Chain A
Amino acid sequence: MSWLSNVRNKIASITKRETPDNLWHKCKKCEAMVFLKEFEDNMHICPKCEHHGRIGPMTRFAQIMDENSWKLIPWAKVQEDPLKFKDQKKYADRLKDARAKTGEQDALINVVGTIETLPCVVGVQDFAFMGGSMGLAVGQAFVDGARRALKDQCPYIIFTAAGGARMQEGILSLMQMPKTTVAISMLREAGLPFIVVLTDPTTGGVTASYAMLGDVQISEPGALIGFAGQRVIENTIREKLPEGFQTAEYLKDHGMIDLVVHRKELRATLAQVIGYLMAWKDAA
């Protein structure tokens, strides 16, 4: 072992001992090291710079829903790997890995429950599951969530997070754009609110369908939201992108979002908004 690699190994082991992954969290934005416990107790928000970390469906439900009020809506079966797709890896194997990693069936999970005692159906997209990408399972889950809201005559709230369409399902993933839009039309015709909460990141085909069709559009601060990828745009226009391009605040400035809401206020804000949008029902 050379002297250099010896030193490297020592450094590695020291760093390892002092900052085990399960003890410390390094903020993606300001790079501050904070106790993981402190970060988690702070709703996965960096206490130094307020950067909102990405969270999965279960953490989200725990933050948003009334305690013990919610239960999962079961997955509907869809065709699995309809194209028998294989790139460098089989899609079937990618699915298996994502399921093992997240413990979930696919990238969108719905629950039915209450927020500050108000009944609602809430769907959360899981970026950890193949980048939250929209394929048949996500599209069907979205439709099922909307259908449950129709049945219960309550709002459907969706937390978006996706890199785009599930390429491995080809054209069938693209068809989820009109499919999910049909579900929104059904809610609209029934006079039921569809509320979108955009979270980091929401891009591609998801943005160009249900993520932009909310009756009220809310976003978490700093979230990346856009249609086209930044590298694609840079290659097209051959110039640097403006400061803060495609952030929640940028979209709000350009009229695409109603409210940018801090995670700690999200639950209260949702309850308020539902109150307004469901007032007609109490009056009836």
Chain B
Amino acid sequence: MTSYLDFEKPIAALESRIIELRETADEGSLDIESEITKLQSKSSKMLRDTYTRLTPWQKTQVARHPERPHFKDFVKGLFDEFIPLGGDRNFGDDQAILGGFAKLGDRRLVVIGHEKGDDTESRLRHNFGMGKPEGYRKAIRLMDLADRFALPVVTLVDTSGAFPGVSAEERGQAEAIARSTEKCLSLGVPMIAVVVGEGGSGGAVALAAAERVLMLEHAVYSVISPEGCASILWRTGDKADVAADAMQITAQNLAKLGVIDRIIEEPIGGAHRDSNLAIATLGKAIAEELDELVQLERSALRSARRDKFLKIGSL
């Protein structure tokens, strides 16, 4: 059962009408069958139209949709093998940032990403995908491992931001994020970052300073959440939709700004309506990008990555 977002209410109404009709329909009643077919085509047209015209704020809601595939779903769907690796060897094993060895087809790689969880219990365990310093330090450790053993790095970014808490500050949240970004930039192996849901600020960029940054069609990536921006600049969180517009946070915006390299098409109605298809499409794209990147020497990879960020904003 899909949970509908606010702006999907007309679609929800149509779809529940279809279910109703099905339940009350006499076997083989042609009238009702044709009514159902009509409603179905109307509803799928409405879904397509709505999703081709999503506003940035609507996309933010889609990107945060509870049924959207999360790190664990991607890992399960993308890879034939996954060996989880944990811990920063210093303090703990953050569950908001996960990673391990994985096989994409025949290709061995290291995957790292944010996991938000998908029910109350797992959301708490994964801290809603908000990484702590030990999470970013685990990512650094895994990237280092990948670099030394010539394994490409794939990251799946999905976080509202790094965890804002006293203990996180005490253990150097800012330093951990800065070092993680630095580690990305120093890698001599291919790195592909995919913003699969929410790319929230420094907590996202710490895993996304890659030479190839991909974004799912309805994902968002921004310097601050629309609510946060609205409460600072408009002095009210109610203007989140306006802030989302102004900040240009969609995959389409970011491709135009030259910040991301490729948009991964989502199934009609968003990745949560057909996660298998969404994941398969992403898998193909990652494989294509890797095919290209593995041809490059260590120094060429590093300088391609650095040049990409150095030239952002220059005239």
Contacts and interface: CB of A to CB of B under 8 A. Distances in A.
Interface string B194-209: 0000000110011001
Interface in B143-165: 162-165
Contacts of A171: 221-223, 247-249, 253-254, 257, 259
Interface stretch (B79-87, B262-270, B273-281, B305-313): B305-313
Given A181-B185, A228-B169, A78 B175 contact: no
Interface stretch (B32-40, B109-117, B226-234): B226-234
A212 B182 CA distance: 11
Given A254-B170, A254-B172, A174 B233 contact: no
A241 B166 contact: yes
A67 B294 CA distance: 53
Given A213-B182, A233-B164, A177 B205 contact: yes
Nearest to A207: B174
B164 A236 contact: yes
A57 to B, nearest CB: 22
B246 A87 contact: yes
Interface of B: 162-166, 168-175, 177-179, 181-182, 184-186, 201-202, 205-206, 209, 221-224, 229, 232-235, 243, 246-249, 253-254, 257, 259, 306, 309-310, 312-315
B227 to A, nearest CB: 11
Contacts of B222: 170-171, 174
B174 A208 contact: yes
A235 to B, nearest CB: 8
B162 to A, nearest CB: 7
Contact of B181 (A181, A211, A228, A246): A181
Contact of A167 (B178, B202, B223, B259): B223
A173 B223 contact: yes
Interface in A216-265: 226-229, 232-233, 236-237, 241-242, 245-246, 254-256
A165 B185 contact: no
A284 to B, nearest CB: 24
Contacts, number: 170
Interface in A54-79: 76-79
B172, B223, B234: most-surrounded residue (chain A CB, <10 A): B223
Nearest to A233: B164
A227 B223 contact: no
A134 to B, nearest CB: 10
B185 A178 contact: yes
B209 A181 contact: yes
A170 B202 contact: no
B125 to A, nearest CB: 17
A219 to B, nearest CB: 13
B164 A181 contact: no
A184 interface: yes
A27 B251 CA distance: 48
Contacts of A182: 185, 306, 309-310
B233 A179 contact: no
Contacts of B181: 177-178, 181, 208-209
A246 B249 CA distance: 30
A170 B171 CA distance: 28
Contacts of A213: 178-179, 182
A83 B175 contact: no
Nearest to A253: B170
A38 B86 CA distance: 57
Nearest to B167: A237
A173 to B, nearest CB: 5
Interface stretch (A41-49, A104-112, A136-144, A149-157): A136-144
A184 B182 CA distance: 9
B313 A170 contact: no
Nearest to B239: A87
A6 interface: no
A236 B164 CA distance: 7
Nearest to B182: A181
Contact of A181 (B171, B172, B178): B178
Contacts of B235: 88
A175 interface: yes
A209 to B, nearest CB: 5
Nearest to A79: B313
22 contacts: A83-B246, A87-B234, A88-B233, A88-B234, A139-B313, A143-B310, A168-B233, A170-B249, A174-B201, A177-B202, A178-B205, A182-B310, A205-B202, A212-B174, A226-B169, A227-B162, A227-B169, A227-B202, A228-B173, A236-B163, A242-B166, A256-B175
Contacts of B309: 175, 178-179, 181-182
A210 interface: yes
B248 A83 contact: yes
B259 A175 contact: yes
B147 to A, nearest CB: 14
A28 interface: no
Contacts of B178: 177, 181, 207-213
B312 A179 contact: yes
A227 B205 CA distance: 14
A86 interface: yes
